[in-house]
Structure 1
Amino acid sequence: MDLRLRDTVVLVTGASRGLGAEIALALAGEGAHVVATARSKESLDDVAARGGGRVSVIEADMRDEASVAGLADEVVARHGRIDGLVNNAGIAPAGRFVDQDPAIWKDAMAVNVIAPMLLAQAAGRHMIAQGGGRIVNVASTTGVRGKPYLVGYSTSKGAVVRLTEALAAEWAAKNVQVNCVAPGAFRTDAQRAVLESPDLLERRVAKIPAGRMADPAELVPLACLLLSPLSSFTTGAIFVVDGGESGKL
């Protein structure tokens, strides 16, 4: 199926590894012009090298509000437009809630909520002016169902879910679709501690009805579809991709 992504322009955050890198490379494979951003220039350059000349990079820290707010303008300066935005960058501080310093929460909110808000706002202005666009926010199953020892992360990803729904309702008439994917347990660097411990891995997999963790490539087709004109009537949706984990009693 042709997703009609050729020569569209998409900004992907957190694109130096994991889900972000896989999404960026898949979009490039569909013929899109991808601007990949993250803190690690070296890792971004590795992704760009695999992107067939269709991936350019911008080094940026999602904690730097001024830098984040200017990313969409930089994309438009390079390519003349911005058709898609993937808000993928995120951090997941873990620990006992009663012991957590408020600074940890502020950091999580800065990266997981404020940065996507600023990016959506800046990109949205261009999308509305050009007649449309698509935004995909990457949340988490912990934003749909709370998880102990990840209270700050769960709270921030819950905010991403509400941001998605509210923006979708506000911008539907402007032909800007806003959707959210909520991944469960994927085999990425963020899960390294689990993947490297047979005991932890066994216990984690036991909670998943599908009986395994997912490969990052298993999220890519959905993300690409949501960035495609083919999904122009889909907005405000939250797609949980977790092997059935959050659906069980």
Structure 2
Amino acid sequence: MAGELNGKVALVTGASRGIGAAIARGYAERGALVVGAARSTDQLRELEATNPERISTATVDLRDAESLNSLVDLVVERHGRIDILVNNAGVAPAADFATEPIEQWRTTFEVNVIAPMTLAQAAGRYFIPQRSGKIINIASTTGIRGKPGLVGYSTSKGAVARFTEALAAEWARHNIQVNCIAPGAFATDAQSAVLESPDLLHRRVRRIPAKRMGDVSELVPLACLLAAPGSDFITGSIFVIDGGESGKL
């Protein structure tokens, strides 16, 4: 609904493309001021151009704790406050677990787990005194049910889900809501190998009761609900959006 986020300020990571870009645009369309953060400067410029009055951007290294803390401060410097944090950025390296190097696990956890925790802590320094704040973590259905070939990624996204639940319980007394969206198969750049192969796409879609992959726009309404005042009694929840795939026997 247009205007449901009027006056709100949001930080969205991984905003250069896919789910993050869709959420950033959706928030701006509903009245929020948005800072979209990612590594890709060129794609961030494209995002900013879609709504320059409401979307600004920042380049960030998610493995640098100092940069993450500075990023939250930057949002407040630009807009005077921060109300919403969307931890969307992530990496999903596919590998054979038997030979996957420990350095790759570290990178996966630094980006997928430590960065969201660091940003949440930094945002909390503003949320707690103002007694309001929304944190929306983007996990994955592979964090609920493990997937072969993605052991490190699945484990990291499982950690994101548990982080959501634990922080929600700890910060509920401050009127801060922490929730998680766990997408299934969505048509994004991360799925390019599947989308570009008719055989792989057929096999992937066959496992989804809805018989199609999701479009990133279909995540936006839920992300907006969880950012809006109407969700103040929703916290510690994990919302699966996967066309029914994880609900099958």
Using structure 2 for the length normalisation, give the TM-score: 0.98
SS of corresponding position for 2:177: strand
**CA, structure 1 residues 157+127, in 2 after alignment: closer, same or farther (shift >3 Å)?**
same
How is 1:27-176 mapped onto 2 (pairs within 5 angstroms)? 27-176=27-176
CA RMSD of aligned residues (A): 0.9
Moved over 2 A (4+): 1-4
1:22-70 Cα shifts (integer Å, max 9, x gaps): 0000100011000000001111010010024100111001112211122
User: Is 1:196 the equivalent of 2:200?
Assistant: no
8 A Cα contact 1:5 1:32, kept in partner: yes
Cα distance, 1:4 vs. partner?
A: 2.7
**CA, structure 1 residues 3+53, in 2 after alignment: closer, same or farther (shift >3 Å)?**
closer
| Identity %, equivalent residues | 63
Q: Within 1, Cα distance between the matches of 2:219 and 2:230?
A: 17
Q: Within 2, Cα distance between the matches of 1:42 and 1:6?
A: 28
SS of corresponding position for 2:98: helix
SS of corresponding position for 1:98: coil
Cα distance, 1:125 vs. partner?
A: 1.5
1:163-198 Cα shifts (integer Å, max 9, x gaps): 000000001110000000000000000100100011
8 A Cα contact 2:3 2:31, kept in partner: no
Partner of 2:233: 233
Q: Within 2, Cα distance between the matches of 1:218 and 1:46?
A: 21
Q: Within 2, Cα distance between the matches of 1:35 and 1:238?
A: 24
8 A Cα contact 2:128 2:174, kept in partner: yes
**CA, structure 1 residues 2+231, in 2 after alignment: closer, same or farther (shift >3 Å)?**
farther
Structure 1 gap segments, 5+ residues each? none
Q: Within 1, Cα distance between the matches of 2:148 and 2:37?
A: 30
Partner of 2:25: 25
The range that moved more, 58-67 or 204-213, is 58-67
SS of corresponding position for 1:97: coil
Partner of 2:180: 180
Size of the aligned set, in residue pairs, is: 249
Partner of 2:205: 205
Partner of 2:219: 219
Q: Within 2, Cα distance between the matches of 1:99 and 1:3?
A: 50
Q: Within 1, Cα distance between the matches of 2:64 and 2:33?
A: 25
Q: Within 2, Cα distance between the matches of 1:189 and 1:53?
A: 27
The range that moved more, 52-61 or 22-31, is 52-61
Q: Within 2, Cα distance between the matches of 1:45 and 1:57?
A: 8
The range that moved more, 138-147 or 67-76, is 67-76
- The one-letter code of the counterpart of 1:204 is R
8 A Cα contact 1:3 1:230, kept in partner: no
